[in-house]
Structure 1
Amino acid sequence: MNLAHLHTMFRPTSIALVGATEEEGTPGPVLLKNIRESQFIGPILPIHERLTELGGLPVFKNIDTLPTTPDLAILCSEPESLPQYIRALGQRGVAGAVVLGCGFSELLPEDKARIENDMLIASRETGMRLLGPGSMGFLTPRAGVNASLAHCDAQPGRIAFVTQSDALFTTILDWAQSNQLGFSNFISLGDKLDFGFGTVLDYLNADPETRAILLYVEDIKNARHFMSAARAASRSKPVIVLKAGRTEQARKELARIASGPIGLDAVYDAAFRRAGMLRVSDTEALFDSVETLARTKPLKGERLAILVNGLSPGLLTLDRFIEGGGKLAELSDETKAALSDLYGDAPMLNCRADGCVGNPITLSPNAPPERYAQAVKILLKAKGIDALLVMHFPSALADGREIAKAVAKAAKRTRRLVFCSWIGGANADQAQEIFNAAGLPIYATSDKAIRAYLNLVHYRRNQELLVQTPASLPSEFEPDLDAAQRVIATHGTGQLPLAAVLELLRAYRIPIIETRTASTPDEAASIAQELGFPVALKILSPDLACKSRVGGVILDLDSAEAVKAAAKSLPNRVLNEAPHCAIQGYIVQRMGRRPKARELALHVDYDPVFGPYISCGRARVLAPLFPSQSHSPAVALPPLNMALARELVTRAAVLPLDDSRFDISALCLTLCKLSQLLLDLPTLQHIQIDPLCVDDHGVLALDASASLLADFDASDALAIRPYPRELEQLIQIRSGKTLLIRPITPEDEPAHWDFIAKLSAEDLRFRFFGLIQTLPRAEMIRLTQIDYDREMAFIAIDREASETLGVVRGSTSLDNQEMEFAIIIRSDIKRQGLGRILLQKLIDYAAARGCARIIGQTLIDNSAMAALATALGFTVSRNYDDGVFELSRDL
């Protein structure tokens, strides 16, 4: 993907209007009016076969007669003519086109599909990008472009809004105009024929004028591209998403109008969270997010102080804040003393008899402007406070407008986040003008203010979660991959027999209770005798997700006679509840005496949008015991590491994480094993462990099932590219030592700190193009937590000493044509040939993924690097202005 085409398209210097007329009710008059009123200064070039003039502009008969090549075309013509126009515009060199929805709603589905396919072929042949069809267009206010069907213009700002909804396109625009909020970009995607959210996220991430991104999503077509782009964007700027389809009824409606699969809402939720985005629940929350992101400073911490002129409103606000998971600031003794001294004979309402000030800091209802201002200054200087909410409720003896002026002035130069809530009609309207001018967010209610702040807090927590260094998997965990692959090879497709499922779990070291199967009551009794009593007897059927629900489980059988009698009665019990299920025999298990264990359910399933996902929740058999509680399991996308697995368990809320009665690490490791099983065996479509017992002894699976799909490859369907194990390689350096070269992982962060510490000052200067004392942790996270879809880092490891000895990195351009590399070898093991081996490894990798060239830079005095590059076929050219060698090699 070439971002230069999108940049030209969204910031055009000339625009062609294809098929536009002046007929009332058609797009032509609106488009022409919007383009002109947005102060667009470039040429506007109407194209129409039958017209000679449009709005005072000369009309050109066809694309060939244009006096200049436009950057952007807006297509208003009938659907049947669109493919030929797209091909002609692309051949002329137009960067991109907006395809409106003219006539598409009247087409038969098969005709619509044919025309869209022809449009896409024409676009691909010429390289011209298409926004739509069914797009309302876009606005780039700072560039003076309103190439849309919007009813009003937008002010310049630092927030981008991208939507699939025509109604939200106009609604958000109208709301923002009335609230004096601006946008960097305002884009209607339409049907996303050529590009969708992933491509736009890449463009907006690279846009220096965009500080935050808002999305309204109905469906996603390319999940892996979306996840890769969303993860990259959310690391550098807030990305907030509103997604329709939380209920089954809404999903059915979306499925009726969407061009692709809809997917499960819980999986969308997991994807947004994994990408580091924040999901909001409704349009009101989206409006509040615009207000917050447009006017707030970045949040450095979570500790909130609340300043309010009334005890009861303060307490209600406090309840809302704490219930939402907020963290209240603790006032220092110094801050308390300053506030107490400030009020003298007019104490605050929540100031105790001993003079100790609380939080919320409650002023009297009639507190004057100067008292508000002094309190704000004290709180903004105080340690331990990251953000301040200032609230005011109307009073006949206090002027809300003057108080707003005083607060705005007192907060003018602070680096901390300050936001306000002024309650009441006239009181709020007057304050809003003042705070808007001061760049402070203001909310009509305290609930809105708290919700907006907590959105920022949750976004920050999402980001912190993504940069946690995960614990390493135990070194003794090594799955028996050969045994697992034999199981898969033996069974082509469909439901796996229970014995095969048990073999899979054993191959991945997942503990499971001793289990045997029997065909007859006599065989069941004999097996029970061998296992030892007491035993559990279960019906064996591929059709039953929960055997207990249909009477298919009998526990604590203590003799062969009891087992035989139970086996004879069990089929009838089950068939009475589930008459159509196929009964294949019996399952006999020794009773596991774990009375204090909790029973959970772990599942691997497939979503049509994001592919395989893993869920953790309460065992099915327990659900009827908790009828008033939600039983929706928590969902996560693979691959999982220990940190991500722990976060999944936290959200599942089925176990207390700090209770020694439950081995949470064993549960997290089991989730990681399931994730690895899924990656290693890509034809697995479904796995279920239900129930899984968890106690202080670890985990124990009591029942499990799995199914295969012959032509199904879960690894290709994964929304996040997993660790590429196939790139691991053993090599030998000149000293004779054998090293492992492999892709870097987040778990390598501690070893990478040690690696950096052992580099000489000169090697650090060569690598980072300057003297550095230490790396910020954010940079180390960036170096160790990479997206294998977009970048690669190969590290050389001495496995005996568990040390990193060298690393080579490559970052690909978005169109995959170019890879930029950097390399560094530990200072004490140079001249061992490791640098050459690592760089050749990266060259081979870049060629294998289809890059056209590999490039790099090194300082002019780094003669060793220049010599290595020359030896490996790079062209080395001197750049005197920058003081570097430019390195380049075609692949």
Structure 2
Amino acid sequence: MNLDNFFQPKSIALIGASRDTTSLGFNLLNNLLKYGYAGKLYPVNPKAKTILNLICFSAVKEIKGIIDLAIIMVPAAIVKNVLIECGQKKIKAAIIISSGFKEMDATGAELEKELVMIAANYHMRLLGPNCLGLINPHLNLNASFAEGLPERGNISLISQSGAMAVAILDWAYQTKLGFSKIVSIGNKADLSEIELLEYLAQDKSTEVILLYLESIKDGRRFMEIASEISLRKPIIALKAGNSAASQQAILSHTGSLAGSLQTVETAFKQCGIIKANSIEDLFDYAKGFSLAPPLKNNRVAVITNAGGLGIVTTDALTETTLQLATLSTSTKSKLKEKLPASSSVNNPVDLVGDALTDRYDWALQQVLADKGVDGVMVILTSQTMTQEDQTAELIVKYVKQTKKPIFTCFMGGQDINSGRIILYQNNVPNFEFVTRMVKTVEQMYLYQSQKITVKFANIKYREKQIVHDQQQLPTIECEKLLIKHKLPVLKSELITDLGDLVKIKQWPIVMKIASTDIIHKKASNAVELNINTIEAARMSYQSIIHNVQKINPNADIDGVLYQPMMALGQEIIIGMKRDASFGPVMMFGMGGSLVEIFKDLSFAIAPVSKEQAMKMITRIRSFELIKDYDLSALADIIVRLANFSLSYNQISSIDLNPVMLYQKGAKIVDVRIML
């Protein structure tokens, strides 16, 4: 994906440039000039001759030179005409800053669709509308209405919210953190996170990618691209819209649907994306991944001048996959040579409160030399005698000398601010609190140790159709479909009156209601087990009908189903729910009627490999209950059901509950398919 006309334009036309110093048109042009963009600038405004000492044009068509990028900042009603002029001028990239489109109402949504069609007609790509613009510090390019230009660095940010991008920029200025690209995608009428990820994957100056998303346009394509990138570059994502209230706010913000939190978390994990749960996480992870080398293993040492913070850090570490490194006897002996008797030479290494820079120097030298240490956390709190600046400079020296990552927490207020600035200026990751430092280091370790090994396969199956006029398929039809796709189903037979009982040839049997209105058959007293005679079957038939009519007098009853009575096994649930963006989301867990109470479930986006299915099985909390059963047979059902779900797009959900699991084999006992 070549988007160089956006990020490396040699010439820019600003349609809607203005002399009004409070307007977007003035401030955006001023940003381009103020921060040193070296390309050609063409302000367009029919009411002005010059703006900021640049000759102003009354229309795009009057500009004689080649224009790489158009930035449009005019009222929504006339954006369409401006875009047509840009197309006629053979401009291939346009940023639409203007709002008033699908985030407003249906009329705005229709207008936005027109813009996309116009752009496609002229082979033009669009960013926005309703966006902040973009920034490329490596080109001194601030093509946005955000103040400032961050340091040059290796982080790129894709943000669906302009305000969030501004907040991240402000934080970047304070911490001296460098960026490669910053882009606001707004309503993403054309370009979305997917095309931008494709571009950043090839961008040599981008090593870490941040995402702030409120919706995901094409979940399956997103996973395909992200799973490929995350093998080489960490992607850190904050996905907003996890509550009903926030989803409504997103709808009015960008006109997009947020999607299910569980589905998004599953997708992120499956394609190797590091999920940030808060803005603080996003900031902290960006800092750690962009500044520090990777952890080769999970053994960390802690050096501190505050024993209490050493304990807090230890507690935090015990809640993670990180380990407090065991220092060698030699390292401890060396530490004792120059540390006071009141110090602790175990891990955490407590230098005590009166520690000067020389103690930090000696401790860092010994701990970094220990082969059992993979990374070091250095904690400093300000005491009367603390040498904040000198200690910061010392840490900078060691960061440049060692291949092991060093993380710092200079904790406090104004007293240690100058030390923090030294760390920031020299690209040393410093954290406000030890808990946030520990959390970040763990994410860095997990990224290295649990990298995905299989790229997500966005398989396009030949779509098959189910001809049926009801929302829920009858059980017999469900079973026929699954058997056709080689899923191990225990077949049912339907009895519609007592005279049908003579059909039963094999005993014992199970009888259960045949009704699309009854979901939980056991809870409705609509299942009878271990029936051995026709007389018992007659009584069970009448009892089941009576119980259902009592619980739900309006239930539509097709009759009663019977199946051979199976030996008892472990009850499992395997299911699918179709997500509008990500497609079939597969579910696995302990089954029966208690599944909704305990919610001990794991998820994956289809298609699912045998290896992924086995991971779904082992991930549930109650795995110990089934570990000695035929897990391979279970995995086969998950894989086949996932492929089945990809073949029938009109199916909205599937419940196989229960699947009876045995020491050898597994059998689908009940099935529910919704269209």
Q: Secondary structure at the match of 1:93?
A: coil
Q: 2:359 aligns with which of 361, 366, 371?
A: 371
The question of whether the paired residues in 1 share the 8 Å contact of 2:298 and 2:321 is answered with no
1:570 to 541, 544, 554: 544
Amino acid at match of 1:41: A
Aligned to 2:6: 9
Find the aligned partners of 1:19 and 1:270 in 2 and give their Cα distance: 43
Superposed counterparts of 1:494-505, under 5 Å: 494-505=471-482
Please show how residues 201-350 of structure 1 align to structure 2 within 5 Å: 201-339=197-335, 343=339, 346=341, 348-349=343-344
- 104, 116, 126: which is aligned to 1:120? 116
Q: How far, CA to CA, are the matches of 1:413 and 1:388 in structure 2?
A: 14
Q: Where does the alignment leave 5 or more consecutive residues of structure 1 unmatched?
A: 352-356, 469-480, 709-891
Could you say which residue in structure 1 is the equivalent of 2:666?
699
Alignment map for 1:134-153 (pairs within 5 Å): 134-153=130-149
Distance in 1 between the 2:110 and 2:270 partners? 36
Relative distance call for 1:189 and 1:682 in structure 2 (3 A) is: closer
Distance in 1 between the 2:41 and 2:271 partners? Answer: 40
Task: State the shift of 1:305 in Å.
Answer: 2.4
State the partner residue of 1:544: 518
Instruction: Give 1:197 deviation, angstroms.
Output: 0.6
Q: Aligned to 2:623, what secondary structure does the other structure show?
A: coil
Q: Distance in 2 between matches of 1:257 and 1:200?
A: 21
- How big is the shift at 1:188? 0.7
- Range 191-200 or range 54-63, more displaced: 54-63
How many angstroms apart in 2 are the aligned matches of 1:309 and 1:649? 45
Instruction: Select 2:529's aligned residue among 545, 551, 555.
Output: 555
Deviation at 1:103?
4.9
For each residue in 1:239-268, what CA deviation from the matched residue of structure 2 results, as whole angstroms up to 9, or x when unmatched? 111101222332243345544544322222
Give the aligned partner of residue 585 of structure 2: 613
Q: In the TM superposition, what whole-angstrom CA distance separates every residue of 1:281-327 from its partner, at most 9, and x where no partner exists?
A: 11111111222233212333333222233444333322222323334
Task: Classify 1:700/1:384 alpha carbon distance in 2 versus 1 (closer, same or farther; 3 Å).
Answer: farther
**2:613·2:635 contact (CA, 8 Å) conserved in 1?**
yes
Instruction: Indicate how the Cα distance of structure 1 residues 326 and 670 shifts in structure 2: closer, same or farther if over 3 A, else same.
Output: farther
Question: Equivalent residue for 1:89?
Answer: 86
CA RMSD of aligned residues (A): 3.0
Q: Secondary structure at the match of 2:624?
A: coil
Give, in angstroms, the shift of residue 401 of structure 1: 4.0
**Offset at 1:441?**
0.7
1:61 to 2:39 alignment? no
TM-aligned CA distance change 1:128 to 1:539, over 3 Å: same
SS of the aligned residue for 1:209 comes to coil
- The answer for the alignment partner of 1:532 in structure 2 is 507
**Alpha-carbon separation, structure 1, partners of 2:333 and 2:484:** 65
Q: One-letter code of the match for 2:476? A: A
CA deviation map 1:1-28 (0-9, x unaligned): x50xx11221222221112222354211
Cα distance in structure 2, aligned partners of 1:621 and 1:701: 15
Instruction: Give matches, 1:413-424, under 5 Å.
Output: 413-424=401-412
Give deviations 1:690-731, integer Å, cap 9, x for gaps: 1223353343322112245xxxxxxxxxxxxxxxxxxxxxxx
The offset of 1:219, in angstroms, is 1.2
Q: Answer whether contact 1:550 1:578 (CA < 8 A) is retained.
A: no
Equivalent residue, structure 1, for 2:397: 409
Contact conserved, 1:401 with 1:427, CA < 8 A, in 2?
A: no
Q: CA deviation at 1:454?
A: 2.0
Counterpart in the other structure of 2:645: 678
2: CA distance, partners of 1:392 / 1:695? 57
The CA deviation at 1:105 is 8.3
- 2:441 aligned residue: 453
The equivalent residue for 1:32 is 29
Kept in 2: contact 1:52–1:60 (CA 8 A): yes
Instruction: State the match for 2:129 in structure 1.
Output: 133
Residues 361 and 558 of structure 1: is their aligned pair in 2 closer, same or farther, counting only changes over 3 Å? farther
CA distance in 1, matches of 2:453, 2:306: 37
Q: Give the % identical residues.
A: 27
Q: 2:538 is aligned with what amino acid?
A: K
1:20 corresponds to: 17
Shift of 1:605: 2.1
Shift of the alpha carbon at 1:178?
1.4
Matched to 2:92, the amino acid is: A
Are the aligned partners of 1:550 and 1:574 in contact in 2 as well (CA < 8 Å)? Answer: yes
Amino acid aligned to 1:637: I
Aligned 8 A contact 2:302 2:377 in 1: yes
- Aligned pair 1:603/2:575, yes or no? yes
Once residues 236 and 248 of structure 1 are traced to their aligned partners in structure 2, the CA distance between those partners, rounded to angstroms, is 35
2:566 is matched with 592
Q: Is the 8 A contact 2:60 2:86 kept in 1?
A: yes
User: Is contact 1:377-1:411 (8 Å) kept?
Assistant: no
Tell me the residue number matched to 1:46.
43
Counterpart pick for 2:614 among 625, 646, 654: 646
Displacement of 1:102 in angstroms is: 4.6
**Contact conserved, 1:47 with 1:63, CA < 8 A, in 2?**
yes
Letter in structure 2 aligned against 1:65: E
Whole-angstrom CA distance in 2 between matches of 1:259 and 1:553: 47
Q: Per-residue deviation at 1:212?
A: 0.6
Length-normalised TM-score, structure 1: 0.70
Structure 1 residues 787-814: Cα deviation after superposition (integer angstroms, max 9, x where no partner): xxxxxxxxxxxxxxxxxxxxxxxxxxxx
1:660/1:602 CA distance change after superposition, 3 Å: closer
Q: 1:666 aligns with which of 612, 615, 633?
A: 633
Question: Which residue is 1:473 aligned to?
Answer: none
* Aligned equivalents of 1:653, 1:228: Cα separation in 2: 29
C-alpha contact (below 8 Å) 2:151/2:179 kept by paired residues = yes
> How far apart are the structure 1 equivalents of 2:166 and 2:634?
48
